[in-house]
Amino acid sequence: MNTAPLQGIKVVDFTEVQSGPSCTQMLAWLGADVIKIERPGVGDATRKELQFDPNLPSYYYLQLNSDKKSLTLNAKTEAGKEILTKLIKEADIFVENLHPGAMDKLGFSWEAVHQINPKCIYGTIKGFPLSSKYKDLKAYEPIAQVTAAAASTTGWYEGADNIPTQSGAALGDSNTGMHLLIGLLAALCQREKTGEGSYVYQSMHNACLNLCRIKTRDQLTLDKIGYLTQFPQYPNGKFGDCVPRSGNIEGGGVLGWTYKCKPAGGYDSETDANNFVYIVLQRGAKDFELFCNAVGFQDWLTNPDFATADARDRNKNAIYQRIGAWTADKTKFEVTDILGKAGVPVAPVLSTKEVMTDESLYDGNTLVKINQGGQIGEFVTVGCPFTISNYQPSYGPAPALGENTEEVLKGLGYTDAQIAEFANTGVTQPLKK
């Protein structure tokens, strides 16, 4: 019981910001020994990004680096390269997400690392696939979203707000980290068979595009027939050549929409920002009957404009209007209660605050409280998103910059004198105790 899946796996973590650290965060939570390499005196850029106190590491850093060790190391110095080489000799996985070409310049490309330790798996994150004309661009979240057709299909499809829009979800950053994680875990299984480490290349573009798969389905359909039945523009509006922005449609074959409700009296009630509910009308006759009976719209069951799923697709705007009038005098929770009990897919639109204050989500994994200690104390983060029946991550604190430098160097066999020399010459910068 509670044997960590990655117990004994050593990871050299040359990542920073969000995409790479989100991947190595999962490796650490699955029990790997993750050594995070950070520039002396600088560290991961997120340490000082969006801080709540100028003297403390940001939640951004804390939430992505729990249970890792921090080794400050200047990999541009000869001694730094020697230390890194020793670490790689013992590593199972090396992960990096520096800008294109940076690792080659440092002398730790896939080929170089493979030569140092043929068993070591090499994970890399870049903005684009190597075949792309954009492969040399540096990349952040929006770069991935705008180039993977995510932004062009997100947002409002008409009026002044008809502009490419980013998702609030980190499709380019954390999503890429999770995609790389899949590749690394597959490479670990593969190594069991071949005895050799492999190169796992994950672009933010491909991770984002993978989540836009159904948009390519829509483009194929649009190219064939010139319209898309699930969009509000169908049947009377105009479609262009490209998949439109989807507003709040469900996106698949079923009819879904966001409906305004009366304030529920909790967070956001005054600004009215999230007094909404999402309701899905399934295509099946039985399911539609459940909905009509729950809201008292039995007339729709015999009305040819609404009785069939195809008819409802054609008359979706009238449907949105009538359901909107029904939800307007109820709170999002009342609507969820009525329709949920009737077996209709429904849910309240929840704010980040509402999610984070839902005590039922503090189940040991969904939302977790990490005790960082010191001036920071306890903070909340999203835990490991899946559970494993016989393993529970422990969710420890994130390291201070250089906190584990001496411990890691000692583990590599360096003497106290050598360790002091590295610190004196700026190769490392151990945390001052």
Torsion angles phi and psi, residue 391, rounded to 5: -150, 135
- For residue 190, the minimal CB distance to ligand COA (Å) is 24
CA distance 34 to 69: 6
For position 420 contacting ligand COA by CB under 6 A, the verdict is: no
- For residue 171, the minimal CB distance to ligand COA (Å) is 11
Question: Please, which of residues 160-219 interact with ligand COA by CB under 6 A?
Answer: 173, 204
Q: Tell me, yes or no, if 173 is annotated catalytic.
A: yes
Output 38 or 313, the one with its CB closest to ligand COA. 38
Question: Please, which of residues 106-145 interact with ligand COA by CB under 6 A?
Answer: 106, 125-127, 138-140
- For residue 5, the minimal CB distance to ligand COA (Å) is 25
Output 166 or 219, the one with its CB closest to ligand COA. 166
Torsion angles phi and psi, residue 346, rounded to 5: -155, 150
Residue with token string 């965060």: 25
CA distance 90 to 82: 13
* Interface stretch with ligand COA, choices 91-99, 237-245, 257-265, 280-288 (CB under 6 A): 91-99
Catalytic residue among 13, 33, 44, 173: 173
Comparing CA positions, the residue from 173, 333, 316, 365 lying closest to residue 266 is 333
Output 106 or 146, the one with its CB closest to ligand COA. 106
Residue 192 corresponds to which tokens in the numbers above? 């069991």
CA distance 261 to 259: 6
Output 70 or 336, the one with its CB closest to ligand COA. 70
Residue with token string 């995070």: 36
- Angle, alpha carbons 114-119-125 (nearest 5°): 60
* Binder among 6, 30, 75, 148 for ligand COA (CB under 6 A): 75
CB atoms within 10 A of CB 319: 19
- Angle, alpha carbons 253-238-319 (nearest 5°): 45
* Interface stretch with ligand COA, choices 97-105, 242-250, 293-301, 330-338 (CB under 6 A): 97-105
DSSP state letters, 215-255 = HHHHHHHHHHHS--TTSTTTTTS---SSPPP-TT---SSSE
> In 106-145, which positions are buried (b, 16+ CB within 10 angstroms) versus exposed (e)?
bebbbeebbebbeebbbbbbbbbeeeeeeeeeebebebbb
Site map (CB under 6 A) of ligand COA, residues 362-401, x = contact: ----------------------------------------
For position 336 contacting ligand COA by CB under 6 A, the verdict is: no
Q: Is 119 helix (H, G, I), strand (E, B) or coil?
A: coil
- For residue 370, the minimal CB distance to ligand COA (Å) is 21
Output 174 or 274, the one with its CB closest to ligand COA. 174
CB atoms within 10 A of CB 240: 9
- For residue 206, the minimal CB distance to ligand COA (Å) is 12
Comparing CA positions, the residue from 188, 187, 240 lying closest to residue 218 is 240
* Binder among 11, 34, 73, 254 for ligand COA (CB under 6 A): 73
- For residue 177, the minimal CB distance to ligand COA (Å) is 8
Question: Please, which of residues 14-53 interact with ligand COA by CB under 6 A?
Answer: 16-20, 37, 39
Q: At how many degrees (to 10) do helices 19-29 and 174-194 cross?
A: 50
Output 207 or 344, the one with its CB closest to ligand COA. 207
For position 98 contacting ligand COA by CB under 6 A, the verdict is: yes
* Interface stretch with ligand COA, choices 72-80, 233-241, 263-271, 339-347 (CB under 6 A): 72-80
- For residue 329, the minimal CB distance to ligand COA (Å) is 44
Q: Which residues are annotated as catalytic? A: 173
Positions touching ligand COA (CB under 6 A) are 16-20, 37, 39, 73-76, 97-99, 102, 105-106, 125-127, 138-140, 173, 204
